[in-house]
Amino acid sequence: MLRFLNQCSRGRGAWLLLALTALALELIALWFQHVMMLKPCVMCIYERCALFGVMGAGIVGAVAPKTPLRYVALLIWLGSAWEGLRLSYEHTMIQLHPNPFVTCDFAARFPGWLPLDKWLPSVFVASGDCAERGWSFLTLSMPQWMIVIFAAYLLVALLVLIAQPFKPKRRDLFSR
């Protein structure tokens, strides 16, 4: 399995699949926001940014998967999945254990050199309450589902990282 994961990480297809899954989740988030009229909170916006990081990792990995750039993409993937998992867990704790002293910010804080909320307000402006459970599926709220999603991204990223020293088998028609 590790050889297979190494071989996949050296091809564009797996990296594009990673980017496409993150893009699909971003589009679903925008559908929830603009069609179902669920207001994203600050934690939702930060989790959205972590998903964009996973998508960016897929794009970086797809650019040159047979070069050391693959390791840069893997680091972006690991960091984004870890941060997304951390944010989703924190968001879930705010929802499960509401406390007037532990709340999220009113607006997302982006660095001055990357004002995403100014550049793309329809995607990055928060208007909801972090403690509100506006949607659930199979008894899990949206941040709980994001824990599952980011944990899966992190697990696969760790397996791909572990697989890097395992060289893929060379398949030759005349060798045994």
**Catalytic residue from among 10, 44, 49, 171:** 44
Please indicate whether residue 49 is annotated as part of the active site. no
Catalytic residue among 3, 104, 170, 171: 104
Which of 12, 48, 109, 170 is labelled catalytic?
Answer: 48
Nearest alpha carbon to residue 85 among 47, 140, 55: 47
Length of the chain, in residues = 176
Q: Which of 3, 130, 133, 171 is catalytic?
A: 130
Instruction: Estimate to the nearest angstrom the gap between the alpha carbon of 34 and the chain centroid.
Output: 20
Which H helix or E strand runs over 136? Answer: strand 136-137
Residue 44 bears catalytic tag:
yes
**Which among 8, 10, 12, 41 is annotated as catalytic?**
41
* Residue indicated by tokens 């990055």: 124
Give the angle subtended at the CA of 20 by the CAs of 18 and 154, to the nearest 5°: 30
Q: Is-catalytic flag, 41?
A: yes
Task: Calculate ∠ Cα 50-145-17, nearest 5°.
Answer: 55
Instruction: Kindly list the catalytic residues.
Output: 41, 44, 48, 104, 130
